[in-house]
Amino acid sequence: MALAYLQSLEYRVIATNWRCSIGELDIVAWHADCLIFIEVRTRRGSAAGTPEESITPTKQKRLLRLAEAFVQARPELIGLDGDMPPCRIDLVAVEFGATGEFRRLDHIENAVQES
């Protein structure tokens, strides 16, 4: 669902479920000239809180390290001048009701930023 949504906005997906020793990136895509790392969080019912609440400070740090690891693993993403492309980390929050009915899909740009 998140992937189809992003593609409808003309995001060019270059990786899904990319894994390395420190974790996994759900979706990596280009949008315009920006490389975007997208974390997809899904919740059913409200017992565990919202998808947004699940992005803890620890998870944010891991996502930043994963984004860096992805770029290091893909040297073709580095410009001829050695610079990284503009990057950001977004969140796609998907929520279903307790009985499985779709409630919402929200795309939050720059959901995780370096502190």
Quick one: pLDDT at residue 83? 78
Whole-angstrom Cα distance, residue 21 to residue 64? 14
In the chain (115 residues long), the average pLDDT of successive 10-residue segments reads: 96 97 97 95 83 92 95 83 86 92 95 83
Quick one: pLDDT at residue 115? 65
Q: What is 2-112's CATH topology?
A: Trna Endonuclease; Chain: A, domain 1 (3.40.1350)
Phi, psi (deg, nearest 5) at residue 30: -95, 140
Amino acid occupying residue 64 = L
User: Domains of the chain: which residue ranges?
Assistant: 2-112
Quick one: pLDDT at residue 49? 82
